[in-house]
Amino acid sequence: MNRLVVFLYTIFVAVVSLSPGTGASIDPWDKLAHFVTYAIFTALVWGITGYGRRFIVACLCIVLYGGVIEIAQSFLPGRVMSGYDFLANTLGVFIAGSWLWRRAVICQAGVVRGERRN
């Protein structure tokens, strides 16, 4: 089920990102939308891979996917390739991935709210 959700979300991101647009936007809400979209993408992938090397590889693939979409947008009417969008995407992946990774390390060590479980 988790794989299906990730697959559908991947298609959703492509459809929304590659639909005809109105050109470049430097609106901060647009960058926040990019950040949140890719943070959610990362969290969904965590549900499949969990803590480990597979998660790191998956995060790199998500960043690559965002870059490919930005390049593809340069060929579409009403769309432009934006380094700022790519940066927002990458930050979403990095920050969500770092947070999830840290939570896993803390849980693995048995630390809850600053206390160590014995």
Sign of CA dihedral 68, 69, 72, 74: negative
Q: What is the pLDDT of residue 24?
A: 60
Buried b (16+ CB within 10 A) or exposed e, 36-69: ebbbebbebbbeebeeeeebeebbeebbebbbeb
Q: What is the pLDDT of residue 116?
A: 53
Q: What is the pLDDT of residue 22?
A: 63
Q: What is the pLDDT of residue 30?
A: 85
Kindly report the pTM of this predicted structure.
Answer: 0.84
Q: One digit per residue, pLDDT tens: the chain, 118 residues?
A: 789 999 999 999 999 999 887 666 667 788 999 999 999 999 999 999 988 899 999 999 999 999 999 999 989 888 888 899 999 999 999 999 999 988 888 877 776 555 555 4
